[in-house]
Structure 1
Amino acid sequence: MEAVSLTLDEARARAAVVSSVSYALDLDLSGTTSFRSRALVRFRSDEPETFLELRGALSVSLVVGGEPIEAAEAAYDGERLHLVGLSTETVNEVEVTATLPYTTDGDGMHTFTDPVDGSRYVGAYLGMDNASKVFACFDQNDLKAPFAVTVTADPADTVLANGAVVSREGGRWVFATTPPIPPALLVVAAGAWHSVRWSGVTAAGEGLEFGWHARRSLAKELDRDAAELRRTTEACFAHYADLIDEPYPFDSYDQVFVPGLNWGAQEMPGCVTYRDELLPRGAITDTQRAVRASIIAHEMSHMWFGDSMTMTWWEDTWLQESFADYMGYRVAEAGAGFSDLRVAVEIRSKPWGYRSDSRRSTHPVAPLAEDVPDVDTAATIFDGISYAKGGACLVQLAFWLGDEEFMAGVNRHLTRFRFANATLADFVESLAECSTKDVRGWVDAWLRRPGFDTISVRRSEDVPVLEREGSRPHAFTVAAYDSSLRFVTSTRVELGAEPVALPDLAGLVVVPNAGGETFAALRFDAESWQALAGGLSAVEDPLVRAVLWSSAALRVRSRDLSADDHLGLVEDHLPTETRAEIIEGVVSEVRSEVIPRRVAASRAAGAVARVASAAAAGLRASADDEQRALAWASTLAATSADAGMLRAWLDTGRVGPGVPLLPTTRWEAVVRLASLGEADARFIAAERDRDGTVEGELGALRALAARPSVAAKDAAWEAMLASGVDNRRFGALAAGLWIPEQAHLLRPYVDAYLAEAPRLATRGQAFALEVGRAFPAIALDDGQIDALRAALAGDVPTVLRRSWEDHLDDCA
């Protein structure tokens, strides 16, 4: 049965009568199968009745105003505690003691046992409406409250939480009371953490304790990166102090790599959590370092924009996420010194945004609150529009307004709503007060309407003329090149309803949006596209190359460019690409979008072989560049049909002279060998035992599922259906199951997936998202697409329905 989802109407009604909320929370994590949660909730109420959320409790006791409530179960329906007889004159005290189950799906109190050393880790992974899986609460953003947290855990463990440690005696930890925060942002993380700590000073001259933490089995990796992680943290912190007027709002700053997190990271006040995949074993590539730095800066921005100032309801969550995305790249580059981070935005983020905005599920960046009627619906708009497109919109806004006015408005907003809630209208008002431009009109054009414009280039004789198909004002840079694609000049353009002629660029190849300042499709004139397609790798600026690759991917989606022609660009130009992040971004797009969605199943093997050919050429051309070589090695490991070469890599632990075989690439090679029928169960088990980590366990599951036999596919499918299978294992099995070259073998499993997925998706939002990601990553025929349409006509949970509708649009 699908869980009850809090509605907008319920949240508004409760916020209208409940106020002055505070929590004293006592968690006992010493149990192995369940934990005890005691929440003392103090609040005022203008009505004698309301409700607290508490999801899935095994037992409950309730005390209201010091009086035990007999048969508390009568007031509890498995989702909510219904309170009656409340005082409307004085502060109410409600004490809820509950026994709750641990989870393994990253929603709630997640538990994980490390196969390396048997250490157990427990973490409260919240967000959205998951706080109620850990304690009884008013689980909505605009009922913020201070939290006084106490935790009992194994005496050998370290416990981290939002507040600084006040005291510790044995396994009992007491933390400082937080400022007002939403229940969704509470965090607790207990385990045998390996820690790197230091003391710092805020811009206001106050002392502040910092820390980085990771599983004990990742101690070597944390020590390897500790100096860089500290340097990045301090540099970003200092840069925010220059940009933001409000002082850092919390009393400590811990950052912890946790196992099993569903998001890339979460912005918990004073204690940010990261997927521990961001602390990779072996070596870390420059691309991984840069991405991680931007995530560190992203989450840090939330301390102000999201944690201190919090959006009121979920329709405005895009703003805090888009703002954090924008600031993440900006601060990691300007503050922490990671260069050209806009390249990653163009090659990785924007294609996601364009895909999302091309589907029937597209929505305004800033929907109305009424368009997000409940929390499950809110879960469906944490998407490429809320992140990628929204971030691009803020880039455009800052470019159009000018940075000084933009940041003045941001600071006015953060000061005005410190530890409070706000809406988009409040943010727009703050910006408008700091600018003479029509901010409200810009917001209406850019944020309240779905879809994206097209900027096209035509020639009037030899003069390029820019035209807009759409309705938004655009400000961007145009770069101009000679026929050999040598850079000549650039100019800023503001494009509205009227065409803009560029006589100074007559006879030149032109690239609109060369700096990635706006969010729009590009349609080149024939002369420019012919020159660019023939010499893309000759363009010197990596940001312009990223814009061009992103534009090519969008043209494939709209069928203005065939998959064959796109693969031709990959073969012709990607082997000589000098930036690893562009190589990785283009290959990811080809493997995840182009081949499964735009190449017929009968031709998938040939398409994969073309990618492998490009990878082999790229690897040969990267002999003197380890970063490029590592990127190409990963691609070749996943696509090559040369089993002898892949086995040689495994035997030597190297890709070539001076190029190590990273653990992730090793597993790509094992999975590829398995998919070719060149690795049996015994071989895979030996690799799993050699690895000995959770990554090895997941890699082995993926490899076993990839084997080209009915028995292997049956076993993988049965394991995916197993009761209680966790997110990571489910995802690994699905990744191995769906191999584009094996479409002929996978027909029965497409039908099975469509039949079973709705039931699997009732486990919760996070698992429903995982089920949606497990959609068949193979080319579907017309009959299978019709079967998907028929399945959508049935009873499909909200989160999965959104995912399936998107896949239907991608396939059809």
Structure 2
Amino acid sequence: MSSANVTANLSRDETAERAAHITVHSIRVELDLSGAPERARTGFPTVTTLSFDATATETWIDFIGESVSRVVVNGEEQDVRWDGARISIEGLAAQNEVRVEAVAAYSRSGEGMHRFHDPVDGETYLYTQYEPADARRVMACFEQPDMKAAYTFDVSAPAGWHVLSNQSAARVHEGIGVQRIEFAPTLPISSYITAVAAGPYARIDGEWSRDGQHIDLGVLCRASLAEHLEADEILEVTRQGLDLFSDAFAYPYPWRKYDQIFVPEYNLGAMENPGLVTFTEAYINRGAATDAQRGGRANTILHEMAHMWFGDLVTMRWWDDLWLKESFADYMGSHASAAATRFTDAWARFANSRKAWAYRQDQLPTTHPIVADIPDLEAAKLNFDGITYAKGAAVLKQLVAFVGEDAFFEGARRYFAAHAFGNTTLDDLLDKLGEVSGQDLRAWSRAWLETSGVSALRLETDADGRRFLVQDGGAAGPRPHRLRIGLYDLDGGRLALRERIELGIDEERTEVEIPDADLTLLNDDDLTYAKARLDERSLTAVEESLSTLEDDLVRGLVWSSLWNATRDGELAAIRYLEIVRRHAPAESNVALLTTVLVNAAFAVRHYVADDARDEQGRAWVDAAWSALQSADAGSDAQLAWARAFAAASGFDAHHADAVRGILNGGAPRGLPVDADLRWLMLTALATTGDATVEEIIAERAADDTATGRTAEIRALASRPDAATRAAAWDSAWNDLTLSNDHLDATIGGFRAGGRRDLIAAFDGEYFDRIREVWGTRSIELAQRLVVGLFPATADTDLVDAWLEANSDAPGALRRLVIESRDDLAREIRVRAAQA
């Protein structure tokens, strides 16, 4: 049975029932990847042998692929009963060995075994990506995190390729044109963190040693990108992280080796497969890069490394407790960056950008507690969101403020010691933290982990001059906060810290003794998770002198407060943009600057009132051009402004001649006009109708790489004529050969420039298509279509009609539509408030 379109779901209840009757011990997986370079080949042989105990006579094994040819249970062949996702088996004994022979499919969607052909040198590269449930696209398995096993991979691949898995090779057999590698068995791990990669990757080796432990390190990428691989810095951050986590967790790194591989067309930032961490190639800089980009990469390296303990060593029982790994890894990524690497501004970056993701997610109607109710795998797939990652990390930072850093890390140590190689729930962690801190954390957990919504903090003064710190917790009610309040005074036009006041609150209104100040910054040091509002006096002070604040974190918190107020309709978008135009050119932290530039561009296109949008768009592109001219030659700020100018020029052609000049060699002194920046500039010209098809094709010929080909697709689809946009629309829905990256480029081109006049005619067809595409495409690709092509209509009537008529649609699909509707409704509401 072919299962190309199967997106089979699994529920929490049925997997719990299976785990109650099945105890898996070991799984051996034999993969024949020797035919991978043959482009006509669609699948590869996979043989899985599973050894397990059972207290039931029948169960199922998960597999999604092209075919299942043979199922053998305890030496007896059974009829193949496979529905495209589940293989039913019967006749089980107390101890069992089941062998499944099948053919799996190569992927172009980044799910399962992804196959990529490099246009630069014609080489083929493979890698796996499974979370939460795509291991079943490569092997027959028990696809749930609480059924851990020792995995042995036996892989045949073309001779000369690097072949990698979670463990090192135990035996290598060389043949004519083919090699067979048998890897050492893993320690007990879940199916979703097993991994295989194969191809002629370039490799840089390193090592890390400490207290008698020696770990081999490897950094790999495609051969055609090897010259851009900053392996020395990657290895340095890796060693710094291993030093810090070994001390912090008092549990030696458990996985024997540490390879990190950068792979093409990757759907995520990275994935924590023990011993073989995968990263997106976006972290490899083909040309110029800012220090903020390198800081982001370091943070991700350390995030994934924290998972070696939080998630891999100790794993949540089911996806309800996904936060047990992702929230901790997000917190640890920033903590370790600030404590162990040169990227000491990590918490400023977290406060200004990472938490913005959480605030947005937590205000959607689909928001959920950090400890979520995840009934099935489709819900789990969508729960890798701003709540689970960034809000969870922010709440952990509040927990550290609540119990103290020493108690927090000692609780983590006891948690690892008690549950190594096992599965846990919320209570297991709270027990260990409570042991150490001497506090019952159940009430804290109920307030922070088991409720949803973001609190807003503001300072109010009554008629008698008494001051109150007021928190609006919404449906969650008031929460306990440990926080600091910073008082800043204007002195000669500069804002300087006078003092910080520490306090705790747990009521809606708390009377506080806070002296007057020009800037009163609630939640200074960013200890808690809340939107901190600026009073009018503070707002006036930052309008005048925001860029004079010396501390990166303080400026990041102010920028964050301004943005939250803008998107909530409390601060006029035009006033926000005036602040950005005045102070962003002086912003010295490029990570903060980059986020502010993205937010400003979004405000122009989505929050400014309709009758002011053209004027504000012109003012924004003028401001970006002016800042680009005045930025220091060769600085990170110059590069950030160049990118912002290119993006703005796709919406306003006022500076088309300047864009053309940069492409023709007239760039400001010191600006590195590399291939990536050229594509940004050329795509802007294409979007406004100022670049020809021939120019775009010529640019791709000069950059005939995977990145160049993807950029060409977007630029061609961005041209502002109805036929081009119609062709992009048709391709996005109907061209099943598009990879995940090429689909994104096609969608981006279709929406380029916000040209509703070219695409509004497709609004009705969108709602006719989305339910079918959800049932026929993989969830990864379907999600891109549903979110990426959601129509920015003038009202929500079409969306509401679809939701009413499709109350029985899959919950995950409805969630995506509801979230997109809420974003649209917010834009309409905020624009109306401007008028």
TMscore range, shorter length: over 0.9
| Structure 2 CA distance for aligned equivalents of residues 59 and 365 of structure 1 | 39
**Aligned counterpart in structure 2 of residue 764 of structure 1, from 731, 754, 778:** 778
What is the CA RMSD across the aligned residues, in angstroms?
1.8
| Matched residue type, 1:239 | L
- Quote how far apart the aligned CAs of 1:152 are: 0.5
| Matched residue type, 1:649 | I
8 Å CA contact 2:633, 2:668 repeated in 1: no
| Structure 1 CA distance for aligned equivalents of residues 353 and 44 of structure 2 | 40
| Matched residue type, 1:767 | L
User: Match for residue 573 of structure 2?
Assistant: 563
| Structure 1 CA distance for aligned equivalents of residues 617 and 768 of structure 2 | 29
CA offsets, 1:762-783, max 9 Å, x none?
322211332233134x74202x
- Quote how far apart the aligned CAs of 1:383 are: 0.9
8 Å CA contact 2:65, 2:138 repeated in 1: no
CA offsets, 1:44-102, max 9 Å, x none?
00010111001133242111111222x42xx11111010111003xx200000101111
| Matched residue type, 1:651 | N
**Aligned counterpart in structure 2 of residue 709 of structure 1, from 721, 730, 735:** 721
Query: Are 1:732 and 2:745 counterparts?
Result: yes
- Quote how far apart the aligned CAs of 1:579 are: 1.4
User: 3-state SS of the aligned residue for 1:467?
Assistant: strand
Q: Note the 1:651-666 alignment, pairs <5 A.
A: 651-652=664-665, 655-666=667-678
Relative to structure 1, the CA distance from residue 464 to residue 337 in structure 2 (aligned partners, 3 Å threshold; closer, same or farther) is: farther
**Aligned counterpart in structure 2 of residue 321 of structure 1, from 322, 326, 339:** 326
User: Match for residue 191 of structure 1?
Assistant: 199
User: 3-state SS of the aligned residue for 2:31?
Assistant: strand
User: 3-state SS of the aligned residue for 1:537?
Assistant: helix
Relative to structure 1, the CA distance from residue 659 to residue 349 in structure 2 (aligned partners, 3 Å threshold; closer, same or farther) is: same
Q: Note the 1:160-175 alignment, pairs <5 A.
A: 160-170=164-174, 171-175=179-183
CA offsets, 1:459-488, max 9 Å, x none?
357775422223101112211111342222
8 Å CA contact 1:570, 1:614 repeated in 2: no
8 Å CA contact 2:115, 2:124 repeated in 1: yes
**Aligned counterpart in structure 2 of residue 609 of structure 1, from 618, 622, 633:** 618
| Matched residue type, 1:192 | P
8 Å CA contact 1:318, 1:366 repeated in 2: yes
Q: Note the 1:125-204 alignment, pairs <5 A.
A: 125-170=129-174, 171-201=179-209, 203-204=210-211
User: 3-state SS of the aligned residue for 2:97?
Assistant: strand
| Structure 1 CA distance for aligned equivalents of residues 366 and 358 of structure 2 | 12
CA offsets, 1:644-670, max 9 Å, x none?
211221222x73211202433221111
User: 3-state SS of the aligned residue for 2:48?
Assistant: strand
| Structure 2 CA distance for aligned equivalents of residues 708 and 754 of structure 1 | 24
| Matched residue type, 2:717 | A
**Aligned counterpart in structure 2 of residue 304 of structure 1, from 296, 309, 320:** 309
User: Match for residue 830 of structure 2?
Assistant: none
| Structure 1 CA distance for aligned equivalents of residues 59 and 300 of structure 2 | 39
8 Å CA contact 1:215, 1:258 repeated in 2: yes
Query: Are 1:435 and 2:422 counterparts?
Result: no
Query: Are 1:215 and 2:229 counterparts?
Result: no
| Structure 2 CA distance for aligned equivalents of residues 316 and 596 of structure 1 | 37
Query: Are 1:790 and 2:801 counterparts?
Result: yes
User: Match for residue 233 of structure 1?
Assistant: 238
8 Å CA contact 1:141, 1:183 repeated in 2: yes
| Structure 1 CA distance for aligned equivalents of residues 432 and 237 of structure 2 | 30
CA offsets, 1:389-411, max 9 Å, x none?
11110111111211000101111
- Quote how far apart the aligned CAs of 1:542 are: 1.8
Q: Note the 1:622-633 alignment, pairs <5 A.
A: 622-624=631-633, 626-633=635-642
Relative to structure 1, the CA distance from residue 10 to residue 645 in structure 2 (aligned partners, 3 Å threshold; closer, same or farther) is: same
Q: Note the 1:801-812 alignment, pairs <5 A.
A: 801-812=814-825
Residue identity (%): 34
| Matched residue type, 1:586 | V
**Aligned counterpart in structure 2 of residue 261 of structure 1, from 266, 278, 285:** 266
| Structure 1 CA distance for aligned equivalents of residues 559 and 514 of structure 2 | 26
Relative to structure 1, the CA distance from residue 599 to residue 673 in structure 2 (aligned partners, 3 Å threshold; closer, same or farther) is: same
8 Å CA contact 1:45, 1:86 repeated in 2: yes
User: Match for residue 454 of structure 1?
Assistant: 456
| Structure 2 CA distance for aligned equivalents of residues 562 and 736 of structure 1 | 30
Q: Note the 1:201-600 alignment, pairs <5 A.
A: 201=209, 203-222=210-229, 225-367=230-372, 371-459=373-461, 465-470=468-473, 471-483=478-490, 484=493, 485-497=495-507, 499-500=509-510, 503=513, 505-592=515-602, 594-599=603-608
165-174 or 253-262, larger mean C-alpha shift: 165-174
CA offsets, 1:172-224, max 9 Å, x none?
111110000001111101011000012332x34122211000000011011xx
212-221 or 606-615, larger mean C-alpha shift: 606-615
| Structure 1 CA distance for aligned equivalents of residues 730 and 792 of structure 2 | 23
| Matched residue type, 2:53 | R
Relative to structure 1, the CA distance from residue 771 to residue 366 in structure 2 (aligned partners, 3 Å threshold; closer, same or farther) is: same
| Structure 1 CA distance for aligned equivalents of residues 511 and 346 of structure 2 | 31
- Quote how far apart the aligned CAs of 1:129 are: 1.2
Gaps of 5+ in 1: none
8 Å CA contact 1:595, 1:740 repeated in 2: no
8 Å CA contact 2:362, 2:387 repeated in 1: yes
**Aligned counterpart in structure 1 of residue 763 of structure 2, from 750, 759, 772:** 750
User: Match for residue 828 of structure 2?
Assistant: none
Relative to structure 1, the CA distance from residue 130 to residue 498 in structure 2 (aligned partners, 3 Å threshold; closer, same or farther) is: closer
8 Å CA contact 2:116, 2:264 repeated in 1: yes
| Matched residue type, 1:708 | P
Relative to structure 1, the CA distance from residue 596 to residue 506 in structure 2 (aligned partners, 3 Å threshold; closer, same or farther) is: closer
Query: Are 1:67 and 2:76 counterparts?
Result: yes
Count residues in correspondence. Answer: 796
8 Å CA contact 1:597, 1:810 repeated in 2: no
**Aligned counterpart in structure 2 of residue 47 of structure 1, from 32, 56, 77:** 56
Relative to structure 1, the CA distance from residue 621 to residue 20 in structure 2 (aligned partners, 3 Å threshold; closer, same or farther) is: same
User: 3-state SS of the aligned residue for 2:446?
Assistant: helix
Q: Note the 1:75-154 alignment, pairs <5 A.
A: 75-88=81-94, 91-154=95-158
- Quote how far apart the aligned CAs of 1:530 are: 2.0
Relative to structure 1, the CA distance from residue 498 to residue 103 in structure 2 (aligned partners, 3 Å threshold; closer, same or farther) is: closer
| Matched residue type, 1:440 | R
Query: Are 1:33 and 2:47 counterparts?
Result: no
| Structure 2 CA distance for aligned equivalents of residues 178 and 308 of structure 1 | 12
| Structure 2 CA distance for aligned equivalents of residues 301 and 476 of structure 1 | 26
CA offsets, 1:402-430, max 9 Å, x none?
10001011111111110000011111111
8 Å CA contact 1:761, 1:771 repeated in 2: no
User: Match for residue 707 of structure 2?
Assistant: 695
| Matched residue type, 1:200 | W
| Structure 2 CA distance for aligned equivalents of residues 59 and 724 of structure 1 | 24
| Structure 2 CA distance for aligned equivalents of residues 688 and 315 of structure 1 | 45
Give the TM-score of the pair, scaled to structure 2: 0.92
| Matched residue type, 2:640 | A
286-295 or 29-38, larger mean C-alpha shift: 29-38
User: 3-state SS of the aligned residue for 2:322?
Assistant: helix
Gaps of 5+ in 2: 36-40, 826-835
8 Å CA contact 1:601, 1:740 repeated in 2: no
CA offsets, 1:435-473, max 9 Å, x none?
123311111111111112111112357775422223101
- Quote how far apart the aligned CAs of 1:156 are: 2.2
Relative to structure 1, the CA distance from residue 475 to residue 719 in structure 2 (aligned partners, 3 Å threshold; closer, same or farther) is: same
Relative to structure 1, the CA distance from residue 240 to residue 454 in structure 2 (aligned partners, 3 Å threshold; closer, same or farther) is: same
